[in-house]
Chain A
Amino acid sequence: MTPHDPLKLFAIDRLKGPNGTYWFGTDLLGRDAFSRLIIGIRQSMIIAFAAVGIATLAGTIIGLLSAWWGGIWDGIFMRIMDVLLAFPAILLALLIIAIVGPGTMTSVAAIAIVYTPIFARVVRGPALSLKQRDFVDAARTFGSSQGFILSRHLLLNLVAPLAVQVTLALAWALLTEAGLSFLGLGTQPPTPSLGLMLAESRNLMQHAPWLMIFPALTIMLGILGFNLTGDALRDILDPRTQRREA
């Protein structure tokens, strides 16, 4: 996948600017920045997708059951979510990593915990209104079980808001992962990651600006891409916009 080994040191080619051999230049230790960027994107994406996947699953289950059961369970679940939401995302992630120790799996878990409450809220609101709709009563008149109504009638109606939320959360997760790695608490060296590359380039900003520009641009494009996907998905999945066109 990569033109050079991202961990290999080319000692005579240290701090070379972008050229034909090293497309995005080399860093202080003479490692190819382009190869490191590719592996860094993979690392950041794996963490972002895994964390958002777990957060989506956990948040959807919590939100759905809160809305469905109501009463005291709704109170307990949502107050826990409120406590988690009260902390700034990066601070809560830092707290979790400070307790468990840095690493890829910890980053995934920390980011997943940080974004679970957002999914729980996104699901609970519409689920509360959907559960009052006549088609849920209609499903009951055919003898549908609770699990069937939850999965087929409620969950499928939540796909549109969830899909949009997933793309937005991927953008935040990418940024949070970069932030954690920048602070030295996410991906550990020598494995490259976008945040880590930014941190390493910080002191060389004036001598080798390419080391900072390319990872920063990649993060920006990644977030922009996820956001644009979210916007497009919302337009496609919202039946109201479809009906206007029809």
Chain B
Amino acid sequence: MTRLLSVKDLRVGFGRDPKANEVVKGVSFDLDAGETVAIVGESGSGKSVTALSINRLVDFGGGRITGGSIALTRSDGSVLDVGPAEERVLRSVRGHDVGMIFQEPMTSLNPVHTVGAQIEEAFRLSKGLTGSQARAATLDVLQRVRIPDAQSRLGYYPHQLSGGMRQRIMIAMALAASPRLLIADEPTTALDVTVQAQIMALLAKLRAETAWR
């Protein structure tokens, strides 16, 4: 099996002196293609920061990688050290190799755009699809995340959908880029128990279907 991600002795700090304010202190783990790794810990232990460091989104929250390495195998087979990578390269990594689902599906969808427009936007940015191609791809991905009556949901705004639906939309958006790695930062925290089970089952099914290649 190919090694997809290798995190070694990762250290992440915040503030003016990140080395003095380290939140993540020496985390190491490996992930192969088709594999699931769960990071478990109490709140404030640095799970989200570790996750956000993998595509360097942590930079935008004022964090800095202060030590260790994150080796990510990209779709062209090259291995990228994420820590010192330039923002331009990282944008392409985020668009193509690493997808992400956030904790709170209400705030991770833009309230002023329809869900259809937001998924189409993800297709346009990651694969350059436009017009009818993007719409067809959107419809297809909505069916893959088991959204009933997908065609009519395209015109819905986020506030018109339930929490579980919104999280499915987020998963659909993340799938748009066909990422090799999907980071799910507590994707079920904001949902009730039965919906949590549905979302976890959906993720497991999708992983089996795509093997996240």
- Which of A's residues lie within 8 Å of B, judged by CB? 133-135, 137-145, 148, 152-153, 156-157, 159, 239, 243
Q: Please, how many angstroms separate the alpha-carbon atoms of A153 and B113 in the complex?
A: 9
Interface size on B, residues (CB 8 A): 32
The one of B102, B109, B113, B177 in contact with A142, judged by C-beta atoms closer than 8 angstroms, is: B177
The one of A138, A142, A153, A156 in contact with B95, judged by C-beta atoms closer than 8 angstroms, is: A142
Given contacts A137-B57, A137-B102, A156-B113, contact A142 B125 (CB under 8 A): yes
Q: By the criterion CB–CB under 8 Å, are A134 and B104 in contact?
A: yes
Q: List 25 A-B contacts (CB under 8 A).
A: A133-B107, A134-B104, A135-B109, A138-B100, A138-B102, A138-B108, A138-B109, A138-B173, A139-B110, A140-B57, A141-B57, A141-B94, A141-B98, A141-B99, A141-B174, A142-B121, A143-B92, A148-B125, A152-B121, A156-B110, A156-B113, A157-B111, A157-B112, A239-B159, A243-B159
Report B57-101 CB contacts with A as 1/0, cut-off 8 Å.
100100000000000000000000000000000011111101110
Ranked nearest first, the 4 interchain pairs of A and B with the lowest CB-CB distance are A143-B95, A134-B108, A141-B100, A134-B107
Q: By the criterion CB–CB under 8 Å, are B125 and A143 in contact?
A: yes
Q: Please, how many angstroms separate the alpha-carbon atoms of A137 and B102 in the complex?
A: 9
Q: Which residues of A contact B104 (CB under 8 A)?
A: 134
CB distance from B56 to the nearest CB of A (A): 10
Which chain A residue lies CB-closest to B52?
A137
Q: By the criterion CB–CB under 8 Å, are A135 and B121 in contact?
A: no
A interface SS class: helix
Q: Is B10 at the interface (CB under 8 A from chain A)?
A: no
Q: Is B126 at the interface (CB under 8 A from chain A)?
A: yes
Q: Is B176 at the interface (CB under 8 A from chain A)?
A: yes
Which chain A residue lies CB-closest to B108?
A134
CB distance from A51 to the nearest CB of B (A): 28
Q: By the criterion CB–CB under 8 Å, are B94 and A140 in contact?
A: yes
Given contacts A140-B60, A239-B159, contact A135 B107 (CB under 8 A): yes
